Structure 1
């Protein structure tokens, strides 16, 4: 774009000698913008001290097998993209970049470069699975599929495991950094969770109105405190004060901690649907619909209703080769969910997303898509 040079040209213009720059731990290291799925994107200030703690306590403790080859399809302006680069540099892992998240191209690159692991949003893995079923491929080197950004459906984890590929998911945000992670060694019975907190990460569930800390198995707002957290929003102290109190950051998500210390996500608190006084958590409904064969993507939002005030509606992208219908989805939901959680069903060709590939639910609520 005008006013911006290419990454390749920037590298060519710089000397190969190591720069002699004095850096202090309190200095700013990176400005990363939030995804803006619920409003205007804000720049998060990540300090050198934050990065040092993360790599000294978390990333530095991980062991990578010799010959590890990482495929990057994540936008490099996103937290996950930046972390991937820094992780690979820190551990000396070979990193291959792919600017296109087309499923066929990703599998081509995995075969061609003998990729062992990659990171992508759940929706990308869903379309990759659909593509993989069309053609026989040699993907024997590909062992670990890392994911995050949104909750990974249990069925998706299971389908990849059936192909000998382990899925690992992380939970976090640009502000809160990495908070929890789940991997298969934690047990299949915990696939519905996003795992346990990382080292030095504190987590609590808070009542959204009173601010009181809740006990296990109670749903409330997720608050996090850690040495990896952001320093604040750039030039926006007012916005920072709204989400950070006593060094605790409000993630803006609804969730609960079970008896074993695993965190379960119910979705963004702003997305919770109140139907006749009952709370409907979109993630719960989406998880059930994801179990249905032929569903590629689903997003559940609340829409106005004269009687109930608000009712859930599921926007669904389905595989064109399957016979899944509105009636079959509703019937399946009736078998799995309470009656007040049964959604209306609308099939669409695609869901509105931002540059990161995250679904923009506010646009669905505003009626951007039509049946």
Structure 2
């Protein structure tokens, strides 16, 4: 594992230092190393874990990968049928839940696996409605951790908070950064959504958080309800979606002395670019991260002529590929270069500007959503003619809007529709806005005209009837 040897070092040198804190519960580095070495781990190479409690998660993840196994991190937010389809495709040797945590008869020695060993299986959105499974090698993360810890200034004893589920790779990586660098990682208790702004405000103030990491929507919700400022907050790191000027303004008002960083990356690539946000405008996503080179389109050497094209990345931190679910619309290799099909351009100063995510993917509060997945769920809910759009939203960055084609005299129970969609989709993929129309506009090719529909939604011109 990329941080096991480092964790053991901190357990020897600073055994009483808090490693993970959740509310009034804490586990020190010495306790984390001891519990992980004593945890009973099933035999096999691929061990899936579905554990919501951050303390138990840290112990289990450390125990699994510290024994040289690959930990597949399942998300409890998945609907039951999605979880079943993932397990069928993954075929792990065992699945560990909170009810399965048992002490082994004899402690085991923990250690980092070789650099080419697989240690982590994560999941990212797929067009079929079932997430794609990717795997990480020890080397891909150990190289990334060494660079990001230095770049963002994580130092031993720093109090860090990442207010999101550890099933999300952004938050899991933040945990790994902490255990690698000897920081204290703060998280929310199970069942406490990030959206509980007052709770997050309490954590930030009572625990005197110095380093905050999250997607823009989580950062905004954590900070906007704070009364007064946060003098202890020294660094804010944003990833997963674009940081707006309004988001930056909230951060600067609540933490006037904090350094603000924004980075662009992907689960498949790790960090690609990063920049220091100084409060002045900035519509780029930064320059290449250490160890990374970027070009636009496969045949371009630099892409610095302002031409928009597909972003290609040369890095030693990318995944090898997908275990399953590869739909050909995301990660690809072109020789030594890789891409997730995102679009952008490079300015004369070498900074990258994003113009669109790959395909028609929509980024909602840092989560990737394919319209086809939501449209499929709408069809299963009785709305076969529906189009899903991404609409600019001040809080989430982007909100999902569904436009349903139905005869004018058809009665649609919007509440019942949303309830049904919640059974079929994670909550972050359920449209916030639902409209109806007697006829969907079509392009010359006979496909739904998404551009025209988006214009109608934004204009509120009466062409669409809002249901919810």
Question: TM-score, normalization: structure 1?
Answer: 0.68
| Equivalent residues in 2 for 1:26-105, closer than 5 Å | 26-36=116-126, 40-60=130-150, 63-65=153-155, 67-99=157-189, 100=192, 101=194, 102-105=196-199
Q: Would you say how many aligned residue pairs link Structure 1 and Structure 2?
A: 300
What per-residue deviation string (whole Å, max 9, x for no partner) do you get for residues 183-219 of structure 1? 13xx54562111111111111112xxxx543443221
Residue matched to 1:361: none
Q: Secondary structure at the match of 1:13?
A: coil
Contact 2:268 2:331 in 1 (8 A): no
Contact 1:271 1:302 in 2 (8 A): no
Unaligned runs of 5+ in 2: 1-49, 51-79, 81-93, 363-388, 404-439
- Whose radius of gyration is greater, 1 or 2? 2
Q: 1:370 to 1:146 in 2, by over 3 A?
A: farther
Contact 1:176 1:230 in 2 (8 A): yes
Residue matched to 2:287: 196
Question: TM-score, normalization: structure 2?
Answer: 0.55
Residue matched to 1:110: 204
Unaligned runs of 5+ in 1: 274-281, 315-340, 347-366
Deviation at 1:257, TM superposition (A): 1.1
Residue matched to 2:115: 25
- Selected match of 1:152 from 243, 250, 263: 243
Contact 1:28 1:48 in 2 (8 A): yes
Q: Secondary structure at the match of 1:234?
A: strand
Residue matched to 1:181: 274
What per-residue deviation string (whole Å, max 9, x for no partner) do you get for residues 161-186 of structure 1? 233144321111111111111213xx
Distance 2:152 2:458 in 1: 45
What per-residue deviation string (whole Å, max 9, x for no partner) do you get for residues 105-158 of structure 1? 1001111111112222212223334423xxx35632123222211111122113
Contact 1:34 1:43 in 2 (8 A): yes
2:441 is aligned with 1:305: yes
Q: 1:126 to 1:16 in 2, by over 3 A?
A: farther
| Equivalent residues in 2 for 1:285-324, closer than 5 Å | 286=392, 290=394, 298-299=398-399, 305-306=441-442, 309-311=449-451
- Selected match of 2:309 from 208, 217, 220: 220
Residue matched to 1:127: 221
Contact 2:130 2:325 in 1 (8 A): no
Contact 2:248 2:279 in 1 (8 A): no
- Selected match of 1:171 from 264, 280, 295: 264
Distance 1:253 1:260 in 2: 20
- Relative to structure 2, which stretch is displaced further, 97-106 or 304-313? 304-313
Distance 2:253 2:327 in 1: 48
Kindly report structure 1 stretches of 4+ aligned residues shifted beyond 6 Å.
300-303
Residue matched to 1:161: 252
Contact 2:237 2:262 in 1 (8 A): yes
- Selected match of 1:246 from 316, 335, 340: 335
Contact 2:241 2:397 in 1 (8 A): no
Q: 1:125 to 1:242 in 2, by over 3 A?
A: closer
Q: 1:230 to 1:14 in 2, by over 3 A?
A: farther
- Selected match of 1:229 from 283, 295, 318: 318
Q: Secondary structure at the match of 1:128?
A: helix
